[in-house]
């Protein structure tokens, strides 16, 4: 890329995470010359957007950067001529997330933001909106890169890749968090580690880990099985069974607990829902505190309290990617892109999460070929669910939706799948125009 001043459009700019993104921009101005950031949100997020704009301005002024900041509800103005469009919005806000978490647990099914029926509901609400955003990008910034954080990131990226012409890469903070946690247990710098990552978003395995070229996979599995810190702020840290890790012979991601330790995770979710509230309900409190802090006119940096949220390192993941694209680094990043042969048994157009080479030309996954049967079954089942869920969200078709939920490995039988689906459709009625004819 040759532009000497970049424009970023941040969709969902009123998010409490945004100060981390701004910090990431300010840290890299020597490599990534951002000249303009346009934060955009919807009416319901107006107040938060104004608070974020004021804090971001103080952060920019503090380092004397020359970045023009704008905040508005005008998505098209934000997207127009942007070089990068970053998407991090939540349709229906935290209340919709709380519903996603509470509906399934009534049926003894995992209730979680991105996996299981909760992630499915979020995909139904989100995919029509992202496709709409993509129409604006196709028209107003056809050369822009869309970096998507919006959950469920794998499904959202798959919808964009299948149904639009927008250049897109999906991103998550789990891979970088895995690297940081492994570095901590190995007492080394993260840059000294190499991980061979391949799987799906929030279902990512590091099949091999190396420290300065030495294979340390078995050591890492030992340490994780021995209780080393291996979780994110938003995921209950259920201990891993060391014998299982030995059998798996791949390093799971923290989200794998929902699939491999379903009983314990469900029990914890139900207890939390009955006591302190589901994760979304806890986050509502954290958000209030964060926005109260953000309004302090003496605050001109990202406050430490933001670390209570699960999204640690997300700005590093995204700004390092911007750097790789802008400077044509041809460097390695873990991203969500179409498979194109990287995992031998998956279709080319399925979006996977994997280590990829990234440059100005895009992202190309490193091939891992045939994966072990220990991971294959679960990965295929989740991918089948994802494919069906993306189609369901796109078409608003009840039958496809039913099949998607029935195919989800966290939903144990079709009577529960149907009951949960009907409740999701009822509860989310206002956010699901594609199902309107039902």
Q: Which residues have a catalytic role annotated?
A: 255
Nearest residue (CB) to ligand G6P, 121 versus 232 = 232
Q: Show the binding pattern over residues 89-128: x = contacts ligand G6P (CB under 6 A), - = does not.
A: -------------------------x--------------
For ligand G6P, the closer of residues 151 and 168 by Cβ is 151
Q: Which is nearer to ligand G6P, 183 or 425 (CB)?
A: 183
Give the pair of three-digit tokens for residue 292: 């109260």
Residue 176: CB partners within 8 Å, gap ≥ 6?
Answer: 313, 316, 317, 334
The residue written with tokens 């050591």 in the block is 219
Select from 56, 126, 157, 173 the one that contacts ligand G6P (CB under 6 A): 173
Which 271-310 residues touch ligand G6P, going by CB under 6 A?
A: 279, 283, 309-310
Rounded CA-CA distance 203/253 in Å is 7
**Distant-in-sequence, close-in-space partners of 201: CB < 8 Å, separation ≥ 6:** 114, 152, 153, 154, 155, 157, 170, 172, 174, 336, 351, 353
Q: Report the nearest approach of ligand G6P to the CB of residue 313 (Å).
A: 9
Q: Does residue 232 belong to the site contacting ligand G6P (CB under 6 A)?
A: yes
Alpha helices for 192-336 (secondary structure H): 217-225, 242-248, 257-260, 262-274, 279-294, 314-326
175 binds ligand G6P (CB under 6 A): no
**Nearest distance in Å: CB 221, ligand G6P:** 22
**What is the C-alpha separation between 123 and 196, in angstroms, rounded?**
28
C-beta of 90 vs 207, nearer to ligand G6P: 90
Write down the least CB distance from residue 252 to ligand G6P, Å: 14
Candidates 35-43, 182-190, 232-240, 317-325; binding stretch for ligand G6P (CB under 6 A): 232-240
Which residues lie closer than 8 Å to 142 by C-beta, 6 or more apart? 165
Please, what is the minimum distance in Å from the beta carbon of residue 61 to ligand G6P? Answer: 28
Q: What is the smallest separation between the CB atom of 6 and ligand G6P, expressed in angstroms? A: 25
Is the bond leading into 27 cis (omega within 30 degrees of zero)?
A: no
Q: Which of 40, 174, 317, 407 touches ligand G6P by CB under 6 A?
A: 174
The only residue of 234, 336, 355, 434 in contact with ligand G6P, by rule CB under 6 A? 234
Contact predicate 425/405, CB 8 Å? no
How far apart are the C-alpha atoms of 220 and 9, rounded to whole Å? 39
Q: Which is nearer to ligand G6P, 314 or 385 (CB)?
A: 314
Out of 15, 112, 151, 428, the residue judged to bind ligand G6P by CB under 6 A: 151
What SS3 state is found at 312?
A: coil
Least distance (Å) between residue 255 CB and ligand G6P? 8
- 209 preceded by a cis bond (ω within 30 of 0): no
Strands 203-211 and 214-215, by their bridges, are: antiparallel
Q: How far apart are CA 150 and CA 123, in angstroms?
A: 10
DSSP-assigned letter for residue 251: B
Determine the interface stretch with ligand G6P among 127-135, 229-237, 263-271, 293-301 (rule: CB under 6 A): 229-237
User: Which stretches of the chain bind ligand G6P, using CB under 6 A?
Assistant: 114, 151, 172-174, 232-234, 279, 283, 309-311
């Amino acid at each position: 890329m040759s532009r000497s001043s970049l424009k970023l459009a941040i969709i969902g700019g009123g998010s409490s995470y945004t100060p981390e993104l701004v910090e990431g921009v300010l840290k890299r101005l020597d490599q990534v010359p951002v000249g303009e950031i346009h934060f955009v949100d919807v009416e319901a997020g107006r107040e938060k957007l104004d608070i974020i704009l004021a804090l971001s301005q103080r952060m920019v002024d503090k380092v004397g950067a020359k970045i023009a900041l704008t905040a508005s509800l005008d998505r098209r103005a934000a997207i127009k001529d942007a070089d990068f469009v970053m998407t991090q919005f939540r349709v229906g806000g935290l209340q919709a997330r709380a519903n996603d978490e509470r509906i399934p647990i009534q049926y003894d099914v995992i209730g979680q933001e991105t996996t299981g029926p909760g992630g499915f509901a979020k995909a139904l609400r989100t995919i029509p909106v992202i496709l709409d955003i993509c129409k604006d990008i196709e028209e107003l910034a056809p050369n822009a890169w869309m970096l998507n954080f919006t959950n469920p990131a794998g499904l959202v990226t798959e919808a964009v890749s299948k149904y639009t012409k927008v250049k897109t890469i999906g991103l998550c903070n789990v891979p970088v968090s895995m690297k940081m946690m492994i570095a901590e247990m190995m007492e080394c710098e993260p840059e000294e580690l190499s991980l061979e990552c391949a799987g799906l978003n929030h279902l990512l395995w590091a099949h091999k880990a190396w420290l300065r070229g030495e294979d340390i996979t078995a050591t890492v599995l030992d340490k994780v099985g021995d209780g080393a810190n291996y979780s994110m702020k938003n995921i209950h840290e259920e201990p891993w069974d060391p014998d299982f890790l030995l059998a798996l012979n791949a390093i799971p991601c923290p989200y794998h607990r929902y699939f491999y330790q379903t009983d314990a995770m469900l029990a914890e979710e139900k207890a939390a829902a009955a006591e302190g509230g589901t994760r979304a309900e806890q986050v509502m409190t954290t958000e209030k505190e964060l926005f109260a802090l953000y309004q302090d006119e003496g605050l001109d940096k990202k406050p430490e309290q933001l670390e209570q949220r699960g999204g640690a390192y997300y700005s590093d993941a995204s700004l390092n990617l911007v750097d790789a694209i802008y400077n044509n680094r041809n460097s390695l990043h873990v991203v969500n892109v179409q498979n194109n042969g990287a995992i031998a048994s998956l279709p080319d157009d399925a979006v996977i999460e994997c280590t990829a080479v990234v440059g100005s030309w895009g992202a190309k996954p490193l091939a891992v070929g045939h994966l072990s049967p220990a991971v294959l079954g679960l990965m295929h089942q989740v991918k089948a669910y994802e494919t069906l869920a993306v189609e369901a969200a796109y078409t608003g078709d009840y039958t496809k939706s039913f099949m998607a939920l029935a195919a989800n490995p966290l939903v144990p039988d079709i009577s529960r799948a149907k009951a949960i689906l009907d409740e999701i459709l009822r509860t989310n009625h206002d956010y699901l125009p594609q199902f309107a004819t039902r």
